[in-house]
Amino acid sequence: MTARQASDTARQALQSGALGDAWTRAHGMVAPAIPIEAPRGHTHAWFVPVLYQDRLLGYAEIGLDLRVHRYASFMRREGQIEDCPPATHWLDPASVAQRAAPWLQPGDTSGTPYLSHDTHPSRLAWAVPVQTPQGPERLIYVAGDAVYPARAAGDGNGAT
C-alpha cells in the first residue's frame, strides 16, 4: 500500500459521507498521507490529514488493508475551525523538531522526527529520537502543542 492509496481511500470515504460532517465534506481537503511507524521504519498504518486553509480539521487513520480504522475531528462544532490546530503542528517534521528542541540536554543530538504512537496505537504522536552523549537513544514525543519525554529508556513503541 502506498501513501497515495491511503489518501485516495480517505478521500473516497469523505466524499461518500462515511467520514466527517457536512461542513468538512464541503470544505475539507485531503492532504498526502503520512506513515505511522511502529516500530520506527515499519509502517503500521497511515495518517491522512483533512485540511481547511492552514488548519487541521481532522484525520483518518487508514490501515495497511486500506480500511478506515478511525476518523478524528478537531472541530468542537460543525464549521467552527478556531480550535483546530495549525496544520504545521501535525504535518511538518521541522516544526515538530523545533517544538522538541527545548527538551534537549547539553550534548544531545536530535534525529529526524517520525509519526508514531506513545505506548498505545490510539495515542498518536511524533517521536523525536535523541542521541545522548552517554550513548542510549531516548525519545521526545510531540502531539500538537504537547511535548514530553518517553517515560523510560525503551518506553513507547519499540523505537529505540
The pTM for the full model equals: 0.88
Altogether, the residues listed in the chain come to a count of 160
More confident residue, 54 or 1: 54
- pLDDT by residue (tens digit) across 22-61? 999 999 999 999 999 987 889 999 999 999 999 999 999 9
Q: Tell me, yes or no, whether 73 and 114 share the same domain.
A: no
Domain that holds residue 120: 93-149
Q: Are residues 55 and 13 in the same domain?
A: yes
Which of these three, 84, 113, 141, is where a domain ends? 84
**Residue (of 14, 122, 12, 123) closest to 69 by Cα position:** 122
Amino acid at 104: L
**75 and 21 in one domain?**
yes
pLDDT tens per residue across span 47-100: 999 999 999 999 999 999 999 999 999 998 988 899 899 999 999 999 999 999
Q: Which residue among 27, 62, 84 closes a domain?
A: 84
CA distances from 135 to 32, 41, 109, 129, 153 (A): 35, 21, 11, 12, 11
Residue 155 belongs to some domain of the structure: no
- How many domains does the chain divide into? 2
Among all chains, which residue has been given the C-alpha cell 534537549?
104
* Residue 29 Rama label (left phi>0; alpha psi -120 to 50; beta): beta
